[in-house]
């Protein structure tokens, strides 16, 4: 009997993770998948291009929900996802990461007594002022399968009393990166298009609400990037939220090479040849490590603490990097198949 999986995605990092898991599901007998795209990231360069480049089947359901506050967005998603799950009758709902789409998908499923599998379960920044932290906490305590990328994530869940259905599977972003590096070699011309020389530039991204919603924080981040631009060119693919916030707050990006958001293969190539990465993105901190590029995180904490302790990352206001060591707990690029096998084998009922 084939188990039906409904995957809920809505933001750039989720498309990348879902691509790896969808390929594994497609190669696993006894599983089928349909996807709900909430529309949280609606810009073509942050949404459509990922499906095209990574070969993800087009979502069966596209909700086109974006904009507005957290409650408004999450509520609309919850209202739209519920009738789809009632009609589809899936055996599992798979959610990714820590966005409003993650929260809405897990809430809708759990209220209908459909088991939830959370990819990237157990991550914690221990900063509840971050909306992402609230989304992680709630989703983990609603989930049946906790698919953890690191041993630290399993320990975080145990500290909260969550021990059932917890599995350290490794990091699906590593699976995705290994797949994409080969494609990017021939599928991206971003370096020549921007006249960039390998290891002579840095890549920066800024999008977190803690930076974009506070004029003081956004100004400080931009000034930090300007300082770094004195030692090497800083390329900044500008998130729509950040562009709007900067315009509203009167913050300019003089001294930085600002470009439009780029597709996944272009970003992979930019990362692979960069001298350094500056970001407030959780996923990009790890992607930098996968390319063995040093990272500076533009936040006061990180959920990916192993990148700090193993010397590949540092907090922008923290100490210098530790000595670099390999991070073995991310796995060997087979996390997606571990997830598919667990979905097939698990017979949990809520």
Give residue 44's region: left, alpha or beta (phi > 0; psi -120 to 50).
alpha
**In contact, 3 and 344? CB cutoff 8 Å:** yes
**In contact, 131 and 45? CB cutoff 8 Å:** no
**In contact, 271 and 291? CB cutoff 8 Å:** yes
DSSP label at residue 45: G
Residues that are catalytic: 207
Nearest Cα neighbor of 116 from 149, 143, 147 is 143
The radius of gyration of the chain's CA atoms, rounded to the nearest angstrom, is 19
Nearest Cα neighbor of 11 from 40, 34, 35, 36 is 40
CA distance 38 to 24: 22
H or E stretch including 180? helix 172-187
DSSP label at residue 44: G
Alpha carbon 186 to its chain centroid, in Å, reads 24
């Amino acid at each position: 009997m084939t188990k039906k999986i409904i995957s809920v995605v809505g933001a750039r990092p989720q498309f990348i993770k879902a691509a790896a898991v969808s390929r594994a599901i497609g190669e696993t007998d006894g599983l089928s998948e349909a996807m709900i795209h909430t529309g949280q990231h609606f810009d073509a360069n942050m949404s459509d291009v990922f499906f095209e480049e990574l070969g993800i089947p087009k979502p069966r359901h596209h909700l086109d929900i974006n904009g507005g506050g957290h409650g408004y967005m999450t509520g609309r998603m919850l209202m739209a996802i519920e009738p789809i799950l009632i009609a589809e009758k899936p055996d599992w709902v798979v959610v990714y990461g820590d966005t409003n789409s993650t929260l809405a998908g897990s809430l809708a499923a759990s209220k209908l007594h459909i088991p939830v599998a959370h990819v990237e379960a157990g991550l914690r920044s221990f900063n509840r002022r971050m909306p992402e932290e609230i989304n992680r906490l709630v989703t983990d305590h609603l989930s049946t399968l906790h698919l953890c990328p690191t041993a630290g994530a399993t320990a975080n869940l145990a500290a909260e009393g969550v021990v059932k259905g917890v599995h350290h599977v490794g990091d699906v972003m590593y699976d995705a990166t290994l797949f994409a590096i080969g494609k990017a070699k021939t599928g991206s011309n971003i370096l020549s298009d921007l006249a960039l020389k390998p290891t002579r530039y840095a890549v920066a991204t800024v999008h977190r609400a803690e930076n974009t919603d506070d004029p003081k924080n956004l100004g400080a981040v931009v000034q930090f990037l300007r300082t770094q631009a004195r030692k090497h060119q800083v390329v900044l693919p500008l998130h729509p939220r950040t562009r709007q916030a900067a315009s509203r707050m009167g913050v300019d990006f003089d001294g930085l090479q600002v470009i439009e958001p780029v597709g996944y293969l272009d970003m992979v190539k930019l990362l692979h040849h960069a001298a350094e990465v500056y970001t407030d993105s959780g996923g990009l901190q790890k992607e930098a490590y996968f390319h063995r590029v040093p990272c500076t995180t533009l936040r006061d904490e990180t959920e990916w603490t192993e990148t700090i302790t193993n010397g590949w990352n540092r907090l922008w206001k923290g100490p210098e990097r530790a000595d670099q060591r390999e991070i073995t707990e991310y796995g060997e690029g087979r996390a997606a198949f571990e997830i598919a096998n667990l979905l097939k084998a698990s017979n949990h009922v809520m």
